[in-house]
Amino acid sequence: MKRTTPLRAAIAAVLLTVGLGAAQAGAAPLPEPAAAPSASAGLLDAMSRDLGLTAAEAEERLSAEKAAVEVEKAARRSAGGAYGGSWFDAATGRLVVAVTDRTEEAEVRALGADTRLVRHSAAALDRAKARLDTLNAPAGVAGWHVDPRSNSVVVDVVRSERQTPAVRSFVDRARADGAVTVAETAQAPRTYAAGTVGGDPYYTGNVRCSIGFSVYGGFVTAGHCGRAGAAVRGWDGSAMGTFQGSSFPGDDYAYVSIHSGWWTVPVVLGWGTIPDQLVRGSAEAPVGSSICRSGSTTHWRCGTVLAKNETVNYSQGAVYQMTKTSVCAEGGDSGGSFLSGDQAQGVTSGGWGNCSSGGETWFQPINEILGRYGLRLHTA
């Protein structure tokens, strides 16, 4: 971007050198995480504020979550068709892996994970969810997702709408599959675009959204913020770039190419709450992991990953393969960055609630966006 604070300028100067633009008995311990830069005091403060952790607890959790990412990859390969999903257990600091075959438990535990024996494999749950994706959901159905902890497909319905005929009919059809449970949510989801206001956003038409992550040649953001061909203005109103691709609903992602005079760096803004954060990759964090978000309205906020592969039923239509979090957001935060440690996770799509009373927010996973447009994430 053109504007720099002293902190941003210092980081940009460095980046110019790389280019412009409770454990089970007998369970094996988690492997030692690879050495990484210490978490900043600001990040630890944000996790303390939003997750109720001390600084030491936050550092310990970040280290355990980084190790769990590697354990999950190995456990998925080891369990094969018996893999039933996984999640990070913040109480124990360990990854829990669900398996459908008891004979796989010992090998998975040897990798450093706890195990749980379940009925349905992850592949079977994904198929059940895919069948729900073919249905037309009424407005009172907020969405649905595969939940490894309950070993089911969870359908979220708006509490005040649960007994309406349309919602009851949808739930009955969903339950016919046999692997479906129903949960309630306080409100229906909505996207987080906003009218033009001041701040450090980008604009398209009269909509304000937030930059997600730098890729070589531009940045990724939410699809509902603009259509392909739409012009983008920077924080100062000057021409910044053009939407080269956009998808919403169905997906909620977009790619914006930038003009001369703007450049990309592998940085997510900390908004003065924490130092600006370097992006070092896009390894996907497990369910249960801590996660933080940066956006142009509510700035830096943290929470946990609640669910993956969720279908979110916005008023504009369903969006598939989303990740749900406990992080709050508000209008104008759409498109902004979700990070777990120094790993890019996705771009903010929408949710319910706000950062005064709380709520939930969904993001579109980053790796799907990169693959769809053939982009390369700008990393430090």
User: Which DSSP helix (H) or strand (E) runs through 88?
Assistant: strand 83-89
Given 224, 246, 251, 294, which residue is catalytic? 224
Q: What are phi and psi of 288, to 5 degrees?
A: 95, -15
What are 354's strand-pairing partners?
Answer: 358
368, two tokens: 């799907």
Residue 299 is a catalytic residue = no
Q: Is 259 a catalytic residue?
A: no
Q: Which residues pair with 247 in a beta bridge?
A: 253
pTM of structure: 0.79
Question: What's the length of the chain?
Answer: 380
Give the number of other CB atoms < 10 A from CB of residue 205: 14
Please give the full DSSP string across 255-288, using - where no structure is assigned.
EEEE-TT----SEE--BTTBPPEEP-B-PPPPBT
Mark 84-94 as b/e (b = at least 16 C-beta within 10 Å). Answer: bbbbbbbeebb
> How many CB atoms neighbour CB 172 within 10 A?
9
State the pLDDT at residue 31. Answer: 54
- In terms of Cβ atoms closer than 10 Å to its own Cβ (0-12, 13-18, 19+), residue 222 is buried
**Cα Rg, the chain, nearest whole Å:** 21
Other Cβ atoms within 10 Å of 37 Cβ, number: 10
**Helix, strand, or coil here: 178?**
coil
**Torsion angles phi and psi, residue 182, rounded to 5:** -120, 135
Q: Strands 114-117 and 94-99: what pairing?
A: parallel
Q: How far is CA 111 from CA 81, 159, 257, 359, in A?
A: 17, 41, 42, 35
Catalytic residue selected from 334, 337, 340, 349? 334
Annotated active-site residue in 50, 89, 252, 276: 252
Peptide bond preceding 365: is omega within 30 degrees of 0, i.e. cis?
no
Structure tokens at 42: 């600001």
145 classed as catalytic: no
pLDDT the model gives residue 216: 94
Quote the CA–CA distance of 59 and 288 in Å, as a whole number. 16
Asked if residues 94 and 113 have their Cβ atoms less than 8 Å apart, the reply is yes
For 165, other C-beta atoms within 10 Å of its C-beta total: 9
Report whether 378 contacts 203 (CB < 8 A). Answer: no
Distance CA 287, CA 371 (A): 22
For residue 238, what pLDDT is reported?
85
Per-residue pLDDT of the chain (380 residues; tens, 9 = 90+): 444 433 333 322 222 222 222 333 344 455 554 444 457 788 888 899 999 999 999 999 999 999 999 999 999 999 999 999 999 999 999 999 999 999 999 999 999 999 999 999 999 999 999 999 999 999 999 999 999 999 999 999 999 999 999 999 999 999 987 799 999 998 999 987 654 333 368 999 989 999 999 999 999 999 999 999 999 998 778 899 999 999 999 999 999 999 878 888 899 988 888 888 999 999 999 999 999 999 999 999 999 999 999 999 999 999 999 999 999 999 999 999 999 999 999 999 999 999 999 999 999 999 999 999 999 999 99
Strands 180-185 and 152-158, how do they pair?
parallel
> What residues contact residue 190 under an 8 Å CB cut-off, 6+ apart?
314, 315, 350, 351, 352
What DSSP assignment string belongs to 323-378?
A: EEES----TT-TT-EEEETTEEEEEEEEEEEETTTEEEEEEEEHHHHHHHHT--B-
